[in-house]
Amino acid sequence: MSSSSSIDDAEKGTGEKISFPISVTIPPAALEKRSSSHSREDTKVYARNAPPQRSRFSKALPDIPKPAPKAVKHNTSRWIRFQLWFNTYRKFFTFVMTINMIGVVLAATNTWSYPRQYTSALVLGNLQTAILMRNELFGRFLYLFVNTCFAKWTPLKFRLMCTSVLQHLGGIHSGCATSGFIWLIFKVVLIFKNHKNNHDSVLIMGVITNLLVAFSILSAFPWIFVVLGDSYDLTTHTWNPDGIHIVRQQDFWFAMGMSIFIIIPWLTIREVKVDVEMPSPKVVVLRFERGMQQGLLARISRSSIMEYHAFGIISEGTQAKEHYLICGVQGDFTRALVDNPPTHLWTRQMKFAGVSNTSALYKRGIRVCTGTGLGAALSTYLIWIGSDQEKTFGPTISGLIHNNLGPDRVTLWDSRKRGGRPDIMKLIKEVYTVWEAEVVFITSNYQGNKEMMEGCKEAGIPAFHEDFNNG
């Protein structure tokens, strides 16, 4: 099998499962069931490659011969699938679009005069909010505020809600961007209805802007059009480019805010030294200077402007001297890292936060990773499903895991030695129960994320999955 097809069998999802004995070692305090004096730190969960040694405190499935791979198909109810589909992202999107569409209808029927008079402000206000939701600095501020103020002491439901909101800010981004485009169309329609009172350049710019925004909602061109439109005096049919007049328009300040939010991340771009480690043909490990907090993602590129790619960061903490990115060799960019290893790469020093950055909110959590999806896993209990991890990912990554987690906080499932993938939901349920976790973070491919999220939802286990495109 070529390395470009997949990293390993674990990346194919969890639909086909093989059941093996899983040893769950529980101390006496836990077997006496959860008295108030129960010590959480004594709980240990193991999934070993060799048959586990039995003890009087060990509960394990009976040792059975390894069965042949057998497809196990589980049908999730439509209600569960709908709840996962209509997540916070789509709720945000629906809410923002509904509010804006009500405004468009009221403006179109001339019931509400403000949108007709200040349409440009609604265009730029929506687009500014859309850009703000994707701004690294604003995102880091929100994560810092939530993690600092609400960690561990607030009710679990509230902390889960905070995580869900932070993960799905992209719903506000998409809703505002789409609404801004619709308001822009509305403004152009108004201008064409009153075309005799508008300069031809305003009409032309309106059409061009709509075409450009149709290709990219994040286009920076709308502010040019709306400022041009507001600089044209309908009474005298002359331009009024007076600076004081423009500064007094709310549109100008929305445009200014958009420009600042766009520029800030680009001001942090630096070319930095990188060491490339290739433990196997399937994986590249990039090592950068300085430590990082858990749950951040880095954008890297060979160019200062073009083709940035996001990867999860692994680090022992801000006090460490280095941090790492694990890159699966699957595309042109990562394959080029093998064929032509760089000594320097461009990156944004302002890293953006992923959903697992909220792991600080919880007393105990579980991180389920498959293949190269290992970033930000050193602060929780780790379940790592992969193929010959020691050989595939090399001593650097294996050392980070063993040095920081220890045997009581990690379950490594080698799909090559065990002959297939585990019954992942059974494993998650057992670890979740014994470890007394509050949340599960999942990093896999699309199919793996989908199946594990459905299983956790069905089992009533709070779970979130990394989605770099759904920020």
Residue-wise pLDDT tens digits, 257-300:
888 888 888 899 999 999 999 888 888 999 999 888 888 899 99
Among 47-61, 187-201, 324-338, the least confident range: 47-61
Per-residue model confidence (pLDDT) at position 391:
84
Q: Would you say 218 and 176 are in contact if contact means Cβ atoms under 8 Å apart?
A: no
Q: Using the predicted structure, report yes or no on whether residue 417 has a pLDDT greater than 70.
A: yes
Across the range 97-109, mean pLDDT stands at 95
Check residues 71 and 247 and name the one with the higher pLDDT: 247
Among 187-191, 411-415, 434-438, the least confident range: 187-191
Per-residue model confidence (pLDDT) at position 81:
93
pTM score: 0.76
* H helix runs in 231-313, sequence order: 243-247, 250-267
Check residues 226 and 460 and name the one with the higher pLDDT: 460
Q: Using the predicted structure, report yes or no on whether residue 183 has a pLDDT greater than 80.
A: yes
> What do you get for the CA distance between the two ends of the chain, in Å?
33
Spatial neighbors of 137 by CB under 8 A, at least 6 apart, are: 264, 265, 350
Check residues 417 and 377 and name the one with the higher pLDDT: 417
pLDDT-derived band at 98 (thresholds 50, 70, 90) equals very high
Q: Using the predicted structure, report yes or no on whether residue 95 has a pLDDT greater than 50.
A: yes
Tell me the pLDDT tens digit for each residue of 202-227: 666 666 666 666 655 444 344 444 44
Residue with tokens 């491919």: 445
Maximal C-alpha separation, the chain: 93
Nearest CA to 241 out of 253, 250, 232 is that of 232
**Angle in degrees, 0-180, between the axes of helices 119-133 and 88-108, rounded to the nearest 10:** 170
DSSP states of 15-81: SEE------EE--HHHHT---TT--GGG------SSPPPP-TTEE-PPP-PPPPPEE------HHHH
Among 82-91, 404-413, 459-468, the least confident range: 404-413
Tell me the pLDDT tens digit for each residue of 75-84: 889 999 999 9
CA dist 181 and 231 (Å) reads: 21
Per-residue model confidence (pLDDT) at position 251:
72
Per-residue model confidence (pLDDT) at position 386:
84
Check residues 1 and 336 and name the one with the higher pLDDT: 336
> What does the mean pLDDT of the chain come to?
77
Three-state secondary structure of 131-153: HHHCCHHHHHHHHHHHHHHHCCC
Q: Would you say 292 and 277 are in contact if contact means Cβ atoms under 8 Å apart?
A: no
Q: Using the predicted structure, report yes or no on whether residue 24 has a pLDDT greater than 50.
A: no
Among 46-60, 164-178, 432-446, the least confident range: 46-60
Per-residue model confidence (pLDDT) at position 213:
63
Per-residue model confidence (pLDDT) at position 457:
94
237 burial type by CB count under 10 A (0-12 exposed, 13-18 middle, 19+ buried): exposed
Per-residue model confidence (pLDDT) at position 240:
55
Per-residue model confidence (pLDDT) at position 203:
61
Per-residue model confidence (pLDDT) at position 334:
87
Per-residue model confidence (pLDDT) at position 99:
96
pLDDT > 70 fraction of the chain, expressed in percent and rounded: 70
pLDDT-derived band at 27 (thresholds 50, 70, 90) equals very low
CA dist 264 and 430 (Å) reads: 45
pLDDT-derived band at 12 (thresholds 50, 70, 90) equals very low
pLDDT > 90 fraction of the chain, expressed in percent and rounded: 32
Radius of gyration in angstroms for the set of CA atoms belonging to the chain, rounded to a whole number: 26
Tell me the pLDDT tens digit for each residue of 323-367: 999 888 888 888 888 888 999 999 999 898 988 889 889 999 999
Q: Would you say 277 and 355 are in contact if contact means Cβ atoms under 8 Å apart?
A: no
pLDDT-derived band at 414 (thresholds 50, 70, 90) equals confident
Among 10-14, 243-247, 316-320, the least confident range: 10-14
Ranked by mean pLDDT, the top range of 154-163, 237-246, 299-308, 388-397 is: 154-163
Per-residue model confidence (pLDDT) at position 202:
60
For residue 374, give the DSSP letter. -
Across the range 107-130, mean pLDDT stands at 89
Q: Would you say 397 and 361 are in contact if contact means Cβ atoms under 8 Å apart?
A: no
